[in-house]
A and B are shown apart, each in its own frame.
Chain A
Amino acid sequence: MSFAPGTRVRVADRWPEAEGPAHIRTPHYVRGRIGTVVAPLGAFPNPEDIAFARPAPAKALYHVEFSPRDLWADAGGDAIVIEIYEHWLEAA
């Protein structure tokens, strides 16, 4: 699967930290939230595996933009852009 720029995506509402040791690069504040793909950034060995010295298949990485007011009622900025791996995204 791959996401073209402009695609609306939802970040998985998944909390591996609650189940055991985990190294996750998806910030808590966007889990379950909807954003828009800005650009693909290439593919990188999955840091969730690297952190535990497991084989780390490459995962596609995207720049995804969120509206801050979708994240916090009192947000002050206009846009937040975050790097998110494809396995955390689904078409919204």
Chain B
Amino acid sequence: MRIVEAESGALLAAVTSLLQDKGLVSPAEIRERIAFTETASPALGARLVAKAWREPAFHALALRDGTAAAEAIGAFMRGAPPLGVLENRPGLHHVVVCTLCSCYPRTVLGYPPFWFKSSAYRARTVRDPRGVLAEWGTTIPDDTTIRVVDSTADYRWMVLPLRPAGTDDWSEDDLAALVHEGDMIGVTVPKAA
């Protein structure tokens, strides 16, 4: 039998017990990693964004060392690929895609949405980002540069969106509540309406 034909539960049990027998990973470490993977969600990324909007020192840290910024807001980064934070500015908008597979900043956004893994999103975003964004109802001004970030290797990327106007005196919690998954991928933008 080829390994791809194995029943997945039995295969998982066999690999897990081999890893344990060889002393490569303990059951406690596996449980810990599953727990952190399950609890990571876009709320963590939204917290990072809100804090970066409010605190200049944290903003600078996020752009310089996204991994350290993520750890500072409680994300579990040990063993994870480094996190890069892409700052949107007036005149510059980022959108993230992984054309090769589905690389995604799971430590701060949780599991990728189904469409992020679709062939259509992956193929079209590099080639026609404005067309893809339009389907989300997102219109980026013609004079704004759209920079597509194809996540192909050892980094994971999230977008730091533009802070909506009229939110100058908002608390971190209120700002975090404005920020959604798509805003940190770059297919949508946060609105204070």
Instruction: Assess whether A82 is in contact with B152, with CB atoms less than 8 Å apart.
Output: yes
Chain B interface size band reads 20 to 34
Whether A41 touches B152, Cβ cut-off 8 Å, given contacts A76-B127, A79-B145, is no
Inter-subunit contact B131/A76 (CB<8 Å): yes
B residues in contact with A41, CB < 8 Å: 82, 84, 154-155
Chain A 58-92 interface mask (CB, 8 Å, partner B; 1/0): 00010001001000101111111111110000000
B153 at the A interface (CB under 8 A): yes
Residue in A25, A26, A76, A85 whose CB lies within 8 Å of B129: A76
**For chain B residues 109-165, which have a beta carbon within 8 Å of chain A?**
126-131, 145-155
**A85 contact from B84, B127, B147, B153, Cβ within 8 A:** B153
Whether B145 lies near A78 (C-beta < 8 A) is yes
Q: How far is the CB of B152 from chain A (nearest CB, A)?
A: 5
State how many angstroms separate the Cβ of B56 from the closest Cβ of chain A.
Answer: 22
Is A79's CB under 8 angstroms from B153's CB? no
- Checking A65, A76, A83 against B153 with a beta-carbon cut-off of 8 angstroms, the contacting residue is A83
Q: Which secondary structure dominates chain B's binding surface?
A: mixed
Given A29-B126, A68-B126, A68-B127 in contact, is the A78-B153 Cβ separation under 8 Å?
no
B80 part of interface (Cβ distance < 8 Å): no
* A21 within 8 Å of B (CB atoms): no
Cβ of B100 under 8 Å from chain A: yes
Q: Closest chain A residue to B150 by CB distance?
A: A82
For chain A, which range describes its interface: under 10, 10 to 19, 20 to 34, or 35 or more residues? 20 to 34
Say if the beta carbon of B188 comes within 8 Å of chain A. no
Assembled-state Cα–Cα distance A74/B155 (Å): 28
CA gap between A61 and B99 in the complex, in Å:
18
Chain A interfacial positions (CB closer than 8 Å to B): 25-27, 29, 41-42, 44, 47, 61, 65, 68, 72, 74-85
| Contacts A/B (CB < 8 Å), 13 sampled | A27-B100, A41-B82, A47-B153, A61-B155, A75-B128, A77-B128, A78-B146, A78-B147, A80-B126, A81-B148, A83-B153, A84-B153, A85-B153
Q: Using a CB–CB distance below 8 Å, which chain B residues touch chain A?
A: 82, 84, 99-100, 126-131, 145-155
With A26-B152, A29-B99, A41-B82 known, 16 other A-B pairs at CB within 8 A are A25-B152, A25-B153, A27-B150, A44-B153, A47-B153, A68-B127, A72-B127, A74-B128, A75-B128, A77-B146, A80-B147, A80-B148, A81-B147, A82-B149, A83-B150, A83-B152
